[in-house]
Chains A and B, each alone.
Chain A
Amino acid sequence: MPERPEAAAVPEAGEEPTEAPDAPADAAPAASPAPEHPNSEHPTREHPTPEHSTSEHPVPIDEDWRRVSPKYVVVEVVGSLIGTVIFVAAFLVAYFWFDWWWALWAAAAIGVVSLVGIAFEPRRVRSIGYRLRADDLLFRRGIMYQRQVAVPYGRMQLVDVTRGPVARALGLADLKFVTAAAATAVTVPGLPLDDAERLRDELVALAETRRAGL
């Protein structure tokens, strides 16, 4: 349940990244773009100034997939367990109060299926990965139904940091990317809060320099 959304709309992005990005050696962290336009009067600058041109992008390019925090498994497991407990309890109540014999079997089946699902949870979380490339962000997830999405930086309309109660207790946050297409639906879950906020600022700055209409 996402609460306390900390949305950073792309046009309003004027703040400098709070931390220097811990980038690989080939990218210069000091060259991160800091557009000096914190005003919201002209939220869309169609033509970036030359020093922000795409030729020397300050993107911290990832050589390999970056994984989300292993602690995110806990968030998923807790979520699954809560759902399982509610269903199993409902069926057990039906069994003991109304003597519906099949309710016991249903409770058992739900319990087993959920436990199997929970057993796969670490593997599923390991499958979530993201990668910053020169011009776009690559995201993948899923073990049965694999999905891989590429979002060009210039297409990001909004980068959203959301945190649920369990994630907050663990110091994690979800990073959600919104483009003009609803089908994009890219959410990188389970990032450490500092990483998420740094990544948000970086991507917002990138989106500002690469911005190209709709």
Chain B
Amino acid sequence: MTAPVATVTALADGEWHRLHPASPLLRGGLVFIAVLGFVLANMRERLVDMFVIVFVPDTADELDGRYGEWQNDWANDPVGAIITNGQFGWALLAVAVVIIGVIIGFWLSWRMHTFRITRESVEVRSGILFRSHRSARLDRVQGVNINRPVFARLFGTAKLDVSVAGESGNVQLAYLGSALADGLRADILRLASGARAEKSRASAPAAPSVPDAAGAPLAGPAQGDAVGPPPASARVSAVVGRRVDEFLAPELDPNLAPPESVVHLSVARVVGSTLLGGTTISILVFVAIIVAGVAAGQEWVILSFIPAVIGLVGYLWSRITKSLRYSIAGTPDGVRIGHGLLSTANQTIPPGRVHAVEATQWILWRPFGWWSVRVNLAGQSVSASSEAQQRTIVLPVGKADDVRRVLTLLLPDAVPTLDALLGAGLTGRGEAGGFSTTPRRAAWLRPFSWRRIGWAASGGVVLFRRGALTRSLAVMPLARMQSVALGRGPVRRMLRLASVRVHTLAGPVTVELPVADADEAAVLFENLAADAVVWAGADESHHWGAVREQVTEVVS
């Protein structure tokens, strides 16, 4: 994709289209292949013998001698029994029937699995016997995710996931041609943005109207090999070359985003931060126990911890590989976050879909100045699956400057406020830097962090900072606030304190001020309640494209 903004696939035209032909294989067929491979591997010798008998009948006597006693023992040796009883043809027929049945099943499931993208929604129909029809309204799209598991990458395909608000409300297009998925993502977001695609579609060359999404209908120079009918060998090598190129290509297309808006992670930092994460403590505990056990002459202790160590190493490995090749970038369609070494995934969050952001730094990361950033998003953070949890991590680890750039991307409207307040918010304490202070009596409740607890609000965002062991700065756009609560328990009332909590969608971020002076908290509560209404009324981000049209044109 050389011109990401102008690229419009021919698929977003309101007609029904089919997915990549390899989809059924990738979705469920790999299991079938694995079973087949297992069977073949186990019966390799017998199958070789079988063919020897069929094609070289002279050796049958010798083989009969070898397997003679098993001739009628079906349970022990079905292949031998088939051969010696002369039912080879029937067996071949049965295998053929099974294979043909599976192929027909795949073909039907591919035929019946169709999708269409209209001006209003993305719809998917699937199922052979039990039909299902899902549709996602475009103005409710909370993000578009593209996943490329290793096997799908080998086939040059990708899985497109349109997430909408609500639990398990996602619409999946699995699988599409890899380049096609990128184009379709841009189309869906453009349609959702309220900006119409006619302009860019008219400027793009007339796309070949191929009914299947097999990878061809991407307008532009991406498939030069589809022009003429080259010889088969050249075509194969071209396909292989393209796969290799795709595999080795950088995770983020350099044309997609201006380089100054891109945040990358270095491998050393990813590994280091993971090793200094919470699991370090458990590793140290393990080592201590093992050393103590060996010292006490109880060598069996080592053995009992082997499973735990294996699990731990696996966890660390998966964390590191998921964070490798990480990038976050501002694209015209929203913030794009990509990561993964072998299986890659990226998600695009349109503007105005971020409900709360939190930067945290736990104590072992403090010497290095590392932070991680998480977000609350509608629709994704509700489910407890590890994939959804992964999506809420916007920045696995980064310096304060990376945090600033990520926040700038996520909350573009709040840039002046963030520039002024971020430094004090991340590491500051006390009154310096524009944050409120907490009275000394709060030390009864928060002995370590009371100096750090404070809030600041301006320009439509509210910042709550807290935490001494794990520093935290929560940033919340007031236009996304659902409600606000003021809490006063018995101890807090005795100390003339109160807590303020801003309610947002369920997610990893809790926007809360645990202690504040009671009178100040009451004022803050009133201000937040009033400001939230004003900012929500002024918010236009559900049709962000109407505003951003000029920006898009400039970038293109």
Contacts and interface: CB of A to CB of B under 8 A. Distances in A.
A145 B483 contact: no
A154 interface: yes
Contacts of B528: 150
Given A149-B483, A184-B503, A213 B488 contact: no
Contacts, number: 93
Contacts of B501: 183
B536 A180 contact: no
Nearest to A154: B536
Interface in B485-533: 485-490, 493, 501, 503-506, 525, 528-530, 532-533
A135 B530 CA distance: 8
A179 B482 contact: yes
B185 interface: no
A150 B501 CA distance: 11
Contacts of B125: none
Given A136-B529, A146-B488, A184 B483 contact: yes
B537 interface: yes
Contacts of A169: none
A154 B482 CA distance: 9
Contact of B503 (A136, A144, A179, A212): A179
Interface of B is mostly: mixed
Given A147-B485, A214-B480, A181 B504 contact: yes
A89 B282 CA distance: 48
B485 A148 contact: yes
Contacts of A179: 482-483, 503
A46 B165 CA distance: 16
Contacts of B484: 149-150
A49 B505 CA distance: 28
B529 A46 contact: no
Nearest to A136: B529
Interface in A154-180: 154-155, 179-180
Nearest to B528: A150
B287 to A, nearest CB: 40
Given A154-B533, A180-B165, 4 more contacts: A135-B533, A150-B525, A181-B483, A183-B501
13 contacts: A46-B139, A138-B529, A145-B489, A148-B487, A148-B525, A149-B486, A150-B529, A152-B532, A154-B536, A155-B536, A180-B482, A181-B483, A214-B378
* 3 closest Cβ pairs, A-B complex: A181-B482, A150-B529, A181-B503
